[in-house]
Amino acid sequence: MTSERSRRVFLLPLAGILLLAASPLLPRVARHPMIVGTVLAAAALLGVWTAVLYARARRGVEYRLDVVLRKNHYLQLVVQLVLFAYWWMYWPKGTDQIALILVQLVFAYVLDMLLLWSKHREWRAGFSVVPPVLSVNLFLWFHDEYFPLQFAVIALAFVTKALVHWKREGRSTHIFNPSGIALWVPAVIMIAGGWWGVARANEISSTLGAPPYIYEAMAIASLLVQFYYPVILITMSAALTVVAAGFVYTTVTGVYLFIDTSIPIAVFLGMLLLITDPSTSPRSWPGRVLFGVLYGLSIAGCYIALRETGRPSYFDKLLFVPVLNLAVPAIERWGRRVELAIGRARFSVREANTAHLAVWIGVFAVMLPWLKAHAGRSPEYWQRACAEGRHGACNSLAALYGDACERGVGEACHNLGAMFEGGEAGPADPARALVAYERGCREGAAASCDRAGTMHGLGEGVPRNEPRAAVFYGNACTAGEPAGCHNLGVAFENGLGVLRDTAQALSFYDRACHAGFGPACENGRRLRMR
């Protein structure tokens, strides 16, 4: 018979499974049937797994549960919570994910304990589960209809952490940064298949920069971890490498590598979170420097390659992390040889790390203007560069508008639509232009409402739909766009998507005419002379 201790430990996964099963009671979870199906299926599978382990326990197998609170885990948790809170203060839409992140955490805790009980018959309770889940959610969300992929990504993180190990300095440790490998796999699949539309990675990447002092907040928050764990050389060398690569690129091409900063905010976050796991990065100081340099070079190279091939560049910080994790033994051997060649410093690890932190603070202070007061933040810079035909400038201008559009700037959505419609950022694409115009209309850009109406009315990018066109003309007119009032007048005069109504047509012509729209004045006079 199983011992009383083993019976008690199974109450914990049972509680987690019951929470998952009850989570559809939350409005955010219940919003989409795919989310409901995912959490219920996960609860059922974890329940079967728990039952199997419990049956083994009844036959005498002992399963242990210990509480281990490690400083690196709860410090990472504090840093991540600070970043989420600050980000969502300036992007409240993000708080819509809270319930889904909590569901992922429950799933991850139950999965982690079952994995480790299955492998070692022991699970150490603590905060180790939380940082990988939050890291994943700082870079990647899937749309609700693809929510099973979110659970798959979380499962991948913990399966590789539990099962994919090697020996380092006589100890068994996981090879890959859990969140790094979990983000790498879907990124590669989405890029290869052209399926990046299933995820909200671009929305995250563009809105992370919404808070006014986000670089400072990230740097200061990360010091809490870096003070205790000597990984600052990785971040510093990666940052300096990316800045240097940008300088070389500008010298060669005449335009900036990145659009509006020397280091995009999501890339900076990757330098702080994805490559600084002490278990999956080098331990010698030369190895850490090389590790950071290689990561910086990979970001620049991946960004250029993705952009030049028409792939989303926001995956750049994810694509090389597992490769670097695999290269750690070779990098570490090189680092140890360098240390032997130049002689070990006569400083303790804590003293050396304090010195490195001081240098990093100085470097960051010097670098900060290049991160924030960047000439590329002005659309006028990219408009001039695009008009001059500089390499990739039109695509960069479209990306700048796209990021602003994601943040809810209607005028940027309208400008993006105009670029897609006019073929300024690649071949003309009426369908993408219409999507941008409709988004601009929702964000309050009256001209976008009018243009979306025209495209629906003429069947540009979509099948012709005159009633829908009339709705957009009405939105444009209400928002103060005289062309929209005029076009709605045309619709009422000719019965295009609405019932023919001469009085209504005159009313809208007059409204547009009073706003200074000449063709509406002429149409009004013509209609009155009938």
User: How many Å is the maximal CA-CA distance in the chain?
Assistant: 99
Structure confidence by residue, pLDDT tens digits, 398-422: 988 988 898 889 999 999 999 999 9
Structure confidence by residue, pLDDT tens digits, 375-404: 998 889 999 999 999 988 998 999 889 888
- Residue 305 pLDDT greater than 70, yes or no: yes
The whole-number pLDDT of residue 1 equals 39
> Per-residue confidence at 195, pLDDT binned at 50, 70, 90?
very high
The mean per-residue pLDDT over the stretch 269-285 comes to 91
What percent of the chain stands above pLDDT 70?
98
The whole-number pLDDT of residue 455 equals 96
What span, in angstroms and rounded, lies between the C-alpha atoms of 257 and 520? 46
The mean per-residue pLDDT over the stretch 267-272 comes to 95
The mean per-residue pLDDT over the stretch 217-238 comes to 91
Q: Which tokens belong to 410? A: 């209607």
Parallel/antiparallel/unpaired status of strands 165-168 and 122-125: unpaired
The whole-number pLDDT of residue 310 equals 83
What span, in angstroms and rounded, lies between the C-alpha atoms of 264 and 281? 23
Residues contacting residue 90 through CB under 8 Å, at least 6 positions apart: 210, 211, 212
Record the pTM: 0.87
Return the CA Rg of the chain: 28
Parallel/antiparallel/unpaired status of strands 165-168 and 171-174: antiparallel
Q: Which tokens belong to 312? A: 């989303």
Highest-pLDDT range among 7-16, 102-111, 387-396, 502-511: 102-111
Residues contacting residue 402 through CB under 8 Å, at least 6 positions apart: 202, 206, 412, 416
Phi-psi region of 374 (alpha: psi -120 to 50; beta: other; left: phi over 0): beta
Structure confidence by residue, pLDDT tens digits, 432-460: 999 999 999 999 999 999 999 999 999 99
- CB of 242 closer than 8 Å to CB of 123: no
> Per-residue confidence at 3, pLDDT binned at 50, 70, 90?
low
What span, in angstroms and rounded, lies between the C-alpha atoms of 117 and 484? 65
- CB of 322 closer than 8 Å to CB of 213: no
- Residue 345 pLDDT greater than 70, yes or no: no
Q: Which residue has the tokens 């240097």?
A: 244
The whole-number pLDDT of residue 23 equals 97
What span, in angstroms and rounded, lies between the C-alpha atoms of 297 and 303? 10
